[in-house]
Chain A
Amino acid sequence: MTRRWLSLAVLAAWMQLAASASAQAGGAEAERSTGHERGPAAVTAPPPEESEPAPWKGPRVELSYRLYSLHDWQGGGVVNTGAFSGFLPTRYFRGGGGVEGGSRAYDKGGSEGLLSGHLFAGYQHIGDLGRLLPYLVAMGEAGFTFGKRFHTPLHRGFRGIGAELGADVRLIKGLHVGVGVSFMVYTMDDLRYDTFGMRLSIGL
C-alpha cells in the first residue's frame, strides 16, 4: 500500500516537473521567435515587474451584513444580521453555508433576536472578468426568532428559500468585498413573508 502511494507521489512530481518544463520551453520558444533582432543584453533582461495576477478561484470564507424585512401586521419589522459563511472550492459552482445572527425590529416593544443557518448553491462566473466575480445562487435558510409579546418570552421558527444575485470584487490576493441583492420567501407561523434583501460582505 505504501509503495503504491509512493509511486503515485513520484508520478505526480514528475508530471508537475514536466508541466513546468513544458511551460518554460514554450516561453523560451516564444521569446526566440520574437527576439531574433535582440543582442545578448536583451536575453539577460529581468522579467517585467508587473505580471497578471493568478486566476482567482473564488471566495473561501466571508463575513457579511444583511438587511431585509420580516414585516407583518402584528408589528414585526426590519431585520439586521451578521453572517459568517464558508464556500466550497468548486470554481464555477458556488456552494456553501453559514450561520447568521441579529435582531428583528418590533413596532410595539423591544427588538427580538434572530438566529439562523443558511445553505446556498449556484453559479459564479470565474475567469474572464478580471477582479469581478458575479454570482447567482439559490438559498435556503432556517432559524428562529426569540423575543417578547405581552411581556412574555416567545420563540418562533421560520424557514425561507429564494435567490441571491451579486458580485464580489477582489482587492488583494484573496481579499474581496461583495454586494448582493436577494429575494426570499419566508414562512413563519403559517404566515408568508416575501422580501427583498441586501448583503454587504468582506472575505478571503
Chain B
Amino acid sequence: MVAKTHIGIPPDVLGVTGILDRFAFGAALFTTPLVAFRLTEPFVFICLAGLSLAGLTSACGQDADEKYAGMSSLVVEQPDGIGYRLRYMNPPWQRVTSDPLERDQPDASVQFGRLDRVGATSLPDLAPSRSSSRVLEVDRTASVDVPLPGVITYPKYRLEVSVLHCDDLGIQVAMEDTCAKQLNSSDLADRTGSELNTFFGIDGRKGKNDAGQPYYEFMTQVTQTARYRRVVYYETRDRLAAIRLGFEANPPLSELEVTQMINAFEVLDDGVQEHDATGAASSDAGGTP
C-alpha cells in the first residue's frame, strides 16, 4: 500500500474573509454611537476601539455553524480504491489502536448473524479486508478499581468500521443485488431468536447519508446483556464490496447522536492513506474534516 498524505488547504485558510466580514459588521453596528463618542469622549472612544479590535481579531476558529464543524475525522483508503471518512465527536469517542481488528490479528473478525462464540450459527463471523478496520469506543463513566472475577466489562459505546468484500468471503450476491443489501438481510435474519431485531422493522431499513450515499441498517438488543447493536452496511461503487459500521452500546442506539454520526460517515471514491485533518499522520485523528 502506498502511503500518501494530503494536506487539504481550504480556499479561505486564513479566515481573511471571515475577519473582514466581522470588521464590516462591527463597523456598521457601532459607527453611529462611536462617532458621538469620538466627538464627546475621545478617551473612552480610544479604549473601546482598542478593546473591540483586540477582541475581534483574537476570536479565531472555525465557524461553529459550518457542516461537521468540530468533528474529528478519520480517513481510510484501500489499495482497491474503496475507502471511507469517519467523522466523530472527540471527546467522548476515542480511537482504540490496540484492538485486534485495528492490528489485523489473524483471528480478528466482525459479527455476522449470531455471534459465533454464543452458539451454533450458519453464518460465521467475517474477516474484514486487511488494514481496513478502525475501532472507536466511549469508556464507561463508572469505573471499578478491582476487576471482579467472572464479570465482563464493556465500553459504554463501541464502533467497528470495516471494509468487507463479498466475493472474498464467499458470499453469493444476486446480479440485481449489492453486497451491502445481501449482508444486511442475511445478518438480520440469522440473529432472530438470540437478539430482539424488530426495532427498524422486520427487514431493517434503507437510508442515505448527508452525501446521498445509500446504506442498509438494522438494530437489535441482546437479551442476555441488554446491550444494543446497530449495524449499517454502506454500498460502495464496487457492487461486491460494502463498508460495515457496527455499533454496540448500553444506551439505545436509535438516538439522534448516533444517527448523525452514521449520516456524517462518507464512502470515498478516491481516498488517501489515513491522516488527520491537519495532514499529519496520527493514531487518533483530530481537527476538522
Contacts and interface: CB of A to CB of B under 8 A. Distances in A.
Nearest to A137: B48
A136 B116 CA distance: 69
Nearest to A94: B44
A136 B62 contact: no
Nearest to B260: A108
Given A163-B30, A185-B59, A150 B156 contact: yes
A54 B69 CA distance: 54
Nearest to B29: A183
A185 B164 CA distance: 46
B51 interface: yes
A166 B66 CA distance: 31
B167 interface: no
Given A138-B52, A190-B70, A152 B64 contact: no
Pick the most buried of A93, A191, A193: most chain B CB atoms within 10 A of its CB. Answer: A191
Contacts of A202: none
Contacts of A73: 64-71
Interface size class of B (residues with CB under 8 A): 35 or more
A74 B251 contact: no
A192 B60 contact: yes
Interface stretch (B1-9, B86-94, B172-180, B237-245): B86-94
Interface string B63-99: 1111111110000000000000000010111000000
Interface residues of A, number: 40
A152 B29 contact: no
- A interface secondary structure, majority: strand
A161 interface: yes
A72 B256 contact: no
Contact of B61 (A74, A108, A187): A187
B232 to A, nearest CB: 17
Contact of B41 (A92, A151, A162): A92
B122 interface: no
Interface in A8-50: none
A121 B64 contact: no
A15 B70 CA distance: 65
Contacts of B44: 92-93, 122-123
A185 B56 contact: yes
A52 interface: no
Nearest to A190: B61
B22 A165 contact: no
B33 A154 contact: no
B48 A192 contact: no
A160 B93 CA distance: 27
Contacts of A194: 22, 63
Contacts of A122: 44, 48
A52 to B, nearest CB: 24
Given A72-B65, A72-B69, A153 B141 contact: yes
Contact of B26 (A74, A92, A183): A183
B211 interface: no
Nearest to B62: A191
Interface string B128-154: 000000000011010000000000000
A121 B47 contact: yes
B225 interface: no
Contacts of A76: 64
B48 A151 contact: no
A185 B70 contact: no
Contacts of B60: 187, 192
Contacts of A72: 64-65, 69-70
User: Which 10 pairs across A and B sit closest by C-beta, in order of nearness?
Assistant: A161-B55, A72-B64, A185-B59, A192-B61, A108-B256, A191-B64, A152-B92, A138-B51, A123-B44, A190-B61
Interface of B: 18, 22, 25-26, 29-30, 33, 37, 41, 44, 47-48, 51-52, 54-56, 58-71, 89, 91-93, 138-139, 141, 156-157, 250-251, 255-257, 260, 288
Given A138-B52, A190-B61, 20 more contacts: A71-B65, A72-B70, A73-B64, A73-B68, A73-B69, A74-B70, A75-B260, A109-B255, A121-B47, A122-B44, A150-B257, A161-B51, A161-B58, A163-B26, A163-B48, A163-B52, A183-B25, A185-B56, A192-B61, A194-B22
Interface of A: 70-76, 92-93, 107-109, 121-123, 136, 138, 140, 149-154, 160-163, 165, 183, 185-194
12 contacts: A75-B256, A107-B256, A109-B256, A109-B257, A150-B92, A152-B139, A161-B54, A165-B33, A185-B55, A185-B56, A185-B59, A187-B59
